[in-house]
Amino acid sequence: MPQPKPKNPHRGLRVIAILKFAKGVALGVGLGLFRLINPNVSDLAQRIATHLRIDPENYYLRQAIAKLADVSPRTLHNLGLLSLFFSVDLIVEGVGLWYNQTWAKYLVLVATGVFLPLEVYSGIRMFSWEKLVLFAINLTVVAYLAAILAPRRQDRDPAPAG
């Protein structure tokens, strides 16, 4: 009699991997910031506003353009590099989780867990439901990965003598 195929015990890893892939779309943002390294950022903002059919005399648009004009090309370059690095990290995490790699589980556990105290501090300082939901999701991811990785450590520990 054929044995039923066992279900993947870690479907949650696939969900987390998909979320990491989605967040990795920030790669486009990182590359987009590189394109903004232009001495005439305000002209670029004007063209975008025109393309989006936003009134060029709009107060908020004027404020945004004024702020963009003050951003140095070096700052944009650094933000672009940071976004690119972060995006590549997210994609690597997603690929590793998709293929159920132990290193990826540890990477996500550390990369997500390290920011939990900052999220708590930020949530206490200025509460919002969005922050609470994101904190809950990140805490769930950390707890889930810790639960998956815990049996591995127990398998390696020798049985107590006695």
Coil, helix or strand at residue 57: coil
| Lookup: tokens for 10 | 């870690």
Q: What is the mean pLDDT of the chain?
A: 80
From residue 144, alpha-carbon distances to 35, 48, 89, 147 in Å are 39, 43, 20, 5
Position 133 pLDDT exceeds 70: yes
From residue 110, alpha-carbon distances to 79, 121, 141 in Å are 23, 18, 11
Least confident of 62-71, 85-94, 114-123, 145-154: 62-71
| Lookup: tokens for 155 | 């398998």
User: What predicted TM-score, i.e. pTM, was given to this entire model?
Assistant: 0.66
Position 5 pLDDT exceeds 60: no
Cα of 99 vs its chain's centroid, Å: 19
From residue 35, alpha-carbon distances to 38, 40, 76, 81, 83 in Å are 7, 12, 9, 12, 13
Contact criterion met (CB below 8 Å) for 83 and 71: no
Q: Which of 91, 131, 93 is nearest to 115 (CA)?
A: 131
The DSSP letter of residue 133 is: H
| Lookup: tokens for 122 | 């930020």
Rg, the chain, Cα only: 22
| Lookup: tokens for 72 | 């140095």
The DSSP letter of residue 5 is: P
Least confident of 25-39, 81-95, 116-130, 136-150: 25-39
Say what the pLDDT of residue 154 is.
54
